[in-house]
Structure 1
């Protein structure tokens, strides 16, 4: 019974506290004007109301003002027209939200035309009310938009003049400047007059940029390249060029080149005064029959070098320059095999080592030739077993071997010694054969992968 009484008492106390808080809040605002109680809803205005608790806050009036103007700016909607620059550049939803946030932030920073309406305060709070006429804001925005469009068109005309001269580096710079000028209006349907006809500025601007990029093409010295094993370690490189549709060399264009056999690796270079740039091939894996070299204009670098505006940078991310591909035909190297195998001093022919070497080479697509024909590489193995000990009818043997790989000029390109590989058997010969089996396993697991890695 006491528990029930205590529980009921607590409920009553809690209810009383809650009522006191509500009453206190109501009392605090009992003399407040209507705009404090509820934000006005006048259709012809944007409204912004800010409130700051005064206790311990310096400049609370200015802080309340900033809160009010932030709310006012947030009430100005940001719409994206289907004919806007953003839609022309095929932005995605993520970029759309990023753009809207950027414009809201800019709107707050550049807000003007607003008017102070009223302020109110009590012992604890300071309230301030600002509003902005929608018609006034539209006039301000139109004036800004028209000015931005004029400046952007001037930049576009500069870009076109540089394109006509074959100066694509400066042309692309001015295209970027043209977009920077209208960056706050990328979501709007911007219109221009051309030959007494109204046109979409977004379409004109994007078409000009795409046309310039499409005029540029990368030219390789041949339609395909063939590389053989004799090219190994010769620091192969060649020159490619970038030209326009009039066959004029184009200088100063950043190029990025990737290789299908080197994932993640790339070469970044810039075309010289003759429009040429160098591609160093580097190490190549001859276990495949073909590879590709892929070069393209480094548009990301062009944009980054000409603007710090993240909004403009992200807009250009949707544009992907054409990739130019140079097919590479690889001629697989040919191997010959030379074995000198002895088991307890006796020459042996069929230890199984030759068969394993042949299997591994064919598995990787390498060619095999006889030792008389001499391949691109010679695999030379000398292996011999020696008697070990005998204990309780079980014999042991030790195998020592040397594995060499020589190229066509007889230069040693791989050399490894293997010592003391043990074998057991019912006799020394059987123990030697067991040691050879262990050596063949070692060749497959560690020696052959080392050879391939060292050569290719």
Structure 2
């Protein structure tokens, strides 16, 4: 009897919470679209979720997730006669194009609607839908507008080309491409001057044909250079002309970059009224004996300040006029003098001098014992001095003066001092060695890159 009363009491004690949970579930039941992915005839659908964590904007996060889910159902179908198929043999371009279109679609999609939302204490879900028919109508209208704009720019590009204005023509070609770049996956057939054309294909082909008519040269094609550019009479002139007429092409955007080796070259240019521009090379940082700088038409200049990932992919497929400057780089000869002492006594191992020489050798410099043959003079003067003694600890300081000058006229290029670098050990000799070791750390971390940069200016 007591056991029966206890069980009855236990059930009575638990029943309020059970009832509360049941009541809560009945009041806020999960919708069907949470149990399974909604499949609604004639609609694209998307479900998004976000956890309620802290003060995060979970509603916006869930909406963004739902929109991405919806957009993922809208596939890009590539036609066999589209531009994508013609320029993309290994499907790599197509995959990148589809990714870009998919990424931008969420920002541009219109007239989707919220079909539901549900939340509990920890989570929030939202359900979007978009009419396939309405989506098609919107996209068709956008496409018609894009084709009209693209054809207008294409017509202007052809007119500029006939007028002998290649740079203007390339700009209009780009604007035409920009207008219809979201439709590279399908052929845009229309009639132009009495014949049927594929507009996107014609725009890209027109740009390529125009590029093929441009000649780009550099003078000189080959240079003998010293790594210290300040010692060179450096003048490289790029020139753009029409292959057929030899007429100079003004305002043509060019780009320059190292193709072999490394250094600093000003990246972008525009040709002057004579179709010429001077290429500015300010530093050679590679130790390679032969290096090259390529100069080519800057196709991305037509984009302006905006980003255009799709056009960038297409531009990479184009054959662009290019000229190459071959630079044969001479390694500077360095003459070295040094005095390194420990507590006033000449050191057998010239640590600081050897570290500098190794660094310069790895950076493409060579050394000579004949000052008359040298271009640079490196001088190192270092010594250690006794400091205080505290019990069994002995303190020593190293001071080193490092100078680099021109060997012929002794004009100072660089000078620095390692000032009282402290070492400590069980006697002065060992603390002196420790101070020299720490001097090498300072040299590596701060002074050597600074020294090299000063020499190469």
* TM-score of the superposed pair, with normalisation by structure 2: 0.62
- In structure 2, distance between residues paired with 1:104 and 1:398: 71
Query: Does the CA contact (< 8 Å) of 1:405 and 1:415 recur in 2?
Result: yes
- In structure 2, distance between residues paired with 1:9 and 1:341: 90
Match of 1:208, SS state, is: helix
Query: Does the CA contact (< 8 Å) of 1:219 and 1:242 recur in 2?
Result: yes
- In structure 2, distance between residues paired with 1:395 and 1:188: 82
1:186-201 map, 5 Å: 186-193=184-191, 198-201=196-199
Cα deviation digits, residues 238-266 of structure 1 (max 9, x gap): 32123343343222222233346358x85
- In structure 2, distance between residues paired with 1:387 and 1:174: 76
Q: Residue in 1 aligned with 2:170?
A: 172
Q: Residue in 1 aligned with 2:204?
A: 206
Cα deviation digits, residues 322-359 of structure 1 (max 9, x gap): 4654333321100112345678888x695546666654
How big is the shift at 1:160?
2.2
From 5, 11, 27, the counterpart of 1:4: 11
Query: Does the CA contact (< 8 Å) of 2:398 and 2:439 recur in 1?
Result: no
Q: Residue in 2 aligned with 1:366?
A: 365
Aligned length: 379
- In structure 2, distance between residues paired with 1:98 and 1:356: 53
1:38-437 map, 5 Å: 80-82=77-79, 83-85=81-83, 90-91=93-94, 92=96, 93-98=98-103, 100-101=105-106, 104-105=109-110, 149=147, 152-179=150-177, 182=180, 186-193=184-191, 198-229=196-227, 231-232=229-230, 236-246=234-244, 247-259=246-258, 261-262=262-263, 266-285=266-285, 287-304=287-304, 313-318=308-313, 319-320=315-316, 322=320, 324-339=323-338, 350-352=348-350, 358-382=357-381, 402-407=401-406, 408-417=408-417
How big is the shift at 1:410?
1.7
Query: Does the CA contact (< 8 Å) of 1:399 and 1:436 recur in 2?
Result: no
Q: CA RMSD in A?
A: 5.3
- Structure 1 residues 231 and 19 mapped into 2: Cα distance closer, same or farther (>3 Å)? closer
Match of 1:204, SS state, is: helix
Q: Answer with 1 or 2: which has the greater Rg.
A: 1
Cα deviation digits, residues 193-252 of structure 1 (max 9, x gap): 579875533322221123223444532213333211463266945321233433432222
Query: Does the CA contact (< 8 Å) of 1:169 and 1:252 recur in 2?
Result: yes
Query: Does the CA contact (< 8 Å) of 1:79 and 1:188 recur in 2?
Result: no
Q: Is 1:453 matched up with 2:453?
A: yes
Match of 2:247, SS state, is: coil
- Structure 1 residues 443 and 412 mapped into 2: Cα distance closer, same or farther (>3 Å)? farther
Flag structure 1 segments of 5+ consecutive residues without an equivalent.
26-38, 48-69, 110-130
- In structure 1, distance between residues paired with 2:145 and 2:453: 63
Query: Does the CA contact (< 8 Å) of 2:178 and 2:311 recur in 1?
Result: no
Match of 2:304, SS state, is: helix
Query: Does the CA contact (< 8 Å) of 1:78 and 1:104 recur in 2?
Result: no
- In structure 1, distance between residues paired with 2:426 and 2:21: 95
- In structure 2, distance between residues paired with 1:417 and 1:404: 9
Cα deviation digits, residues 18-71 of structure 1 (max 9, x gap): 66788xx9xxxxxxxxxxxxx996x8xx99xxxxxxxxxxxxxxxxxxxxxx9x
